[in-house]
Structure 1
Amino acid sequence: MDERGTQIIDQAGKVFMRLGIRSVNMDDIAQHLRISKKTLYQYVKDKNDLVSRAVELICTHHRTSINAICERGMNAIDENFEIAKFLAAQLSQMHPSIHFDLQKYHAEAWDLLDRTEKADIERCVTLNMQKGIGEGLYRADLNIPVIAKIYIARFDATFDGELFPASEYNFQDVIWEMFRYHIRGIASDKGLKYLERKVKKERTHA
């Protein structure tokens, strides 16, 4: 796909993220992007194809951004925090119905999102734990594969609208608490002391 096509998919994805998927049709997308439906259909077959391509692009963006965070040379706890902060910022902009819409109406796109995000999160968490153990910030006796799976399950739970209804919970607060909960469970004494200093610093700057 050429650059214009990629830009169209990217902008369409942002519309879906902001307004939801089921409530937006191809006419709406064309109107929001200020292009004709004919131009839109030059790049996608139908709405289902557009949703799948948008999801793929969003996953790629998340992966690229997280890799960039990991290349900044921070310690494992700071790295974990920055990744959690990035995800919270991205996902807090997401319409509450996105996951439901994907699961019910766009199974192929949902499967792509589910598989890709879980694989990326598992890889990221695994590398972070290995790094933290090497730095002495995490306990040396961690069962990394098991903890990575637990992390994925907890991350999925943050999207449960019944567990964390948007009317009662701020998504960024949920991610922040999940970060602290995760680090407290895997940190060494050295890591716990560092975490306490970091929490105090973040509260001071809040």
Structure 2
Amino acid sequence: MKKKIIIKSAELFLNLGFKSVTMDDIANEMGISKKTIYQYFETKTKLIEATAIYKFECISESIDAIFNLNANPIDELFKIKEFITNYMSNQKKSPEFQLKKYYPRIHTILKQKQFEVMQGCVSGNLDRGIAAGLYRDNLNVEFISRIYFNSMGALKDHEIFPENQFSLEDLLDNYLEYHLRGICTPLGVTLLNKKNTLINYK
């Protein structure tokens, strides 16, 4: 029952917003009493924290699955970009913005988890790219992995990138191009150009 409550709550929170969905709404949607929810979660805040971590773990598993495909490092980043584009395009609300505004403690917890996972993923991608001769061997992996994390966060800042000027897909496309052009060897650039040609051809 606890997992069912988390899954249904995540669906409602992401579609309608963390602030607007009440415990009564969740109970009514599930056909259970509010008392049943409180048996597992003492407060709405604890339920929100559980749903935020649950969604984060789902996303992490999907990204891990991409890395497990053992694609070349450049293809890997394109696949991750496609996943992020599809995932974020399907969201009706901005959960991260809402957490930051209304539940800052949960937002801080989630951001730390995101940093740890993303830094590990980006560092691994950089190491494999260097080993394959696709990325320059003089890269500071620790520095670039941190810049990557912060830059991806900045793309979601609508004050810096207003939605009426920048689409999510264009932002991710341009940032990935910017990132790869800065780290690739001539061999990597050749592969990137071929990748872009194929994408544009489609």
TM-score (norm 1): 0.90
Name the CA shift for 1:164/1:104 in 2 (closer, same or farther; >3 Å).
same
1:131 maps to amino acid: R
Partner of 2:44: 47
Please say if 1:92 is aligned against 2:92: no
How many residue pairs get aligned? The number is 202
Alignment match of 2:10 (pick from 10, 13, 17): 13
| Aligned counterparts of 1:5 and 1:80: Cα–Cα separation in 2 | 35
Identity %: 34
Shift of 1:147: 0.7
Cα distance per residue 1:112-166 (max 9 Å; x no partner): 2110011111110000000001111111111111111111111110110212233
Name the CA shift for 1:95/1:111 in 2 (closer, same or farther; >3 Å).
farther
| Aligned counterparts of 1:172 and 1:18: Cα–Cα separation in 2 | 20
Shift of 1:175: 1.5
Indicate the larger mover: 134-143 or 18-27: 18-27
Q: What does 1:1-206 correspond to in 2, within 5 Å?
A: 4-205=1-202
Mark the runs of 5 or more structure 1 residues left unpaired by the alignment.
Answer: none
Asked if 2 retains the 8 angstrom alpha-carbon contact of 1:96 and 1:166, the reply is: no
Cα distance per residue 1:36-84 (max 9 Å; x no partner): 3223222211110111001111111111111111111200001111112
| Aligned counterparts of 1:171 and 1:20: Cα–Cα separation in 2 | 20
- RMSD across aligned C-alpha pairs, in angstroms? 1.7
| Aligned counterparts of 1:198 and 1:32: Cα–Cα separation in 2 | 45
| Aligned counterparts of 1:34 and 1:161: Cα–Cα separation in 2 | 37
Secondary structure, counterpart of 2:24 in structure 1: helix
1:122 maps to amino acid: Q
Name the CA shift for 1:171/1:28 in 2 (closer, same or farther; >3 Å).
farther
2:145 maps to amino acid: A
| Aligned counterparts of 2:124 and 2:107: Cα–Cα separation in 1 | 26
Mark the runs of 5 or more structure 2 residues left unpaired by the alignment.
Answer: none
Asked if 2 retains the 8 angstrom alpha-carbon contact of 1:52 and 1:108, the reply is: no
